[in-house]
Amino acid sequence: MNRKRRAQPLEMLRPPRLDPAAGAGPVQPRYALLVNPFYPKDPNASYGKHVLTPTLALTSFAAATPSQWQLGYWDENLLDGRPPFVPMPEVVGITVHLTFAKRAFELARWYRARGSKVVLGGLHVMSCPGECAPHADALAIGDGVQLWPRILADVEAGRLAGRYEAGYESDYRLDPPPRRSILPRSRFLTTTSLIATRGCHNRCGFCYLATEGLRLPYRMRDPGQVAAEFASDGQPYAVFLDNNLGSNRPYLRALCEALRPLERIWSAAVSIDVTDDPGLVREMALAGCTGVFVGFESLTDENLAEARKKTPKARDYGRRVGLLHENGIQVNGSFVLGFDHDTRDTFGRTVEWIEEHRLECATFHILTPYPGTPLFRRMEAEGRLLHRDWDLYDTAHAVFRPRHMTAEELEEGYAWMYGRLFSHRSIWRRRPQDWRAVAPYLAMSYLYKRSNRLWRFLIQHDLVHAVWGPLVEATRRRHLRFREKLAADGGAERRGANLVTAGV
């Protein structure tokens, strides 16, 4: 399974240098800068996924910013060099996640040394507040949309506290829509990243939703509100960032009814049990769903049970994938590697299953015990954690001792699976059975999966949207034709059923 890695572009692996001599100018009052820190890109996976859609956290905070404040936005992953400092912001808001916590702290030190007040928020702040506090003037723990206006008001009044907390029990429908006007629209595949629901009916022990202290009750926005937000951004394609858009099936049905008149396309994460209701899958397709991200996690039922994932038996996964395909919905399957029932044979068996059932895409993750989760506590109690270097808690490195292989074998198997999935042979083997869908599938597969060096060029030269746009529009038009046929076939089936009922 050993694979020789090609040299990777340094811009994708290292953050821009922070010049110690720069930024000596005065601080501009009532100017806030929102920063998404750099994180190294996994050379095994596609670099393209990092610019498909923007983070919703920062655009949501932007929407909650009082009108008297000037606002800036900076995403280091767009490869524009070091963050701005002219003028020097009075407040810098930085989102902190586990794998780029070190970079977030570096940015915080740099701005604080030049007079800015730094506010840190995000999941890592919730799970490890003691680690984050020394690097910030204030921590935002919980719902940032509630906290951000309070923090800025306290800055204006000269009474900034060190810690702000809020739960997630507020009426989700009252949150303002994300402020997408701050985004460089041409730098993303689409700026229409949406959230319709919060939470998930699963509480998998390895998932960040199981983080101690995180209480995320299931919340839903009005379907019409979501559809209006989609329409207002003017993009033909949207990505739902919900943890599981299918957790509440009556809600998903109502959402599909609201989205159908838009004649646009979208994708979302759902659990495979959404296929319990074939009629709902059809309604998703008629509403514009062209792809789903499905957390299969494992093909071994014992792994799923121990992870506390509520899911059908793995032996039924193939039939359910077929149902999605029959409705014109592509499947990106997510698989976690390194569960206690995984062996070295797991890598080959999983890829063979993916190819047999023609999944258009798959995403692999090495099992990672995030701090604050039940998995982390169990691994710690069993003495299986190898270290606490958060930079490597990125699902691409083994940070614990697996049961039935070495950590090195787990990493090698992970890299081998991506190499196999991205090979010409595998891409061709997984082509759609409908010959009319083969050409767009191949175009998107090669652009997304085998073009890391091209991705660096597209990102640096502001060409992401320009290159992807025609493919997205072609997909939208093709799906509109497909759903006309789907609707007609459904009407014929209903008419036939009525005739049978009437005794004709």
State which amino acid sits at residue 289: C
Say if 488 falls within a structural domain: no
Say if 434 falls within a structural domain: yes
pLDDT at residue 213 in the model: 55
Among 166, 200, 216, give the residue marking a domain's end.
166
Question: Do 249 and 101 share a structural domain?
Answer: no
Query: What is the average per-residue pLDDT within 488-499?
Result: 56
How, if at all, do strands 197-198 and 219-220 pair? antiparallel
Residues 184 and 190: their CA atoms lie apart, in Å, by: 10
Task: Mention every residue, 6+ apart, whose C-beta is less than 8 A from residue 344.
Answer: 404, 405, 409, 413
List the domain range (segments joined by +) for residue 31.
10-166
Output the average pLDDT for the chain: 90
pLDDT digits (tens, 9 = 90+) for 65-88: 999 999 999 999 999 998 999 999
Question: Do 245 and 294 share a structural domain?
Answer: yes
pTM for this entry: 0.90
Question: Do 113 and 31 share a structural domain?
Answer: yes
Say if 60 falls within a structural domain: yes
At 215, is the pLDDT very low, low, confident or very high (cuts 50, 70, 90)?
low
Say if 492 falls within a structural domain: no
- Least reliable range by pLDDT among 25-34, 50-59, 222-231, 278-287: 50-59
- Is the Cα dihedral 222, 223, 224, 230 positive or negative? positive
Which percentage of the chain shows pLDDT scores above 90?
A: 70
Say if 501 falls within a structural domain: no
Number of domains in the chain: 2
Say if 187 falls within a structural domain: no
Question: Do 342 and 204 share a structural domain?
Answer: yes
Question: Do 257 and 144 share a structural domain?
Answer: no
Render 404-429 in DSSP notation, one character per residue: SS-HHHHHHHHHHHHHHHTSHHHHHH
Answer yes or no: are the C-beta atoms of 94 and 118 closer than 8 Å: yes
Residue 392 maps to which CATH number? 3.80.30.20
State which amino acid sits at residue 146: Q
Question: Do 83 and 225 share a structural domain?
Answer: no
Residue 92 maps to which CATH number? 3.40.50.280
Query: Looking at the predicted structure, is the pLDDT value of residue 284 above 90?
Result: yes
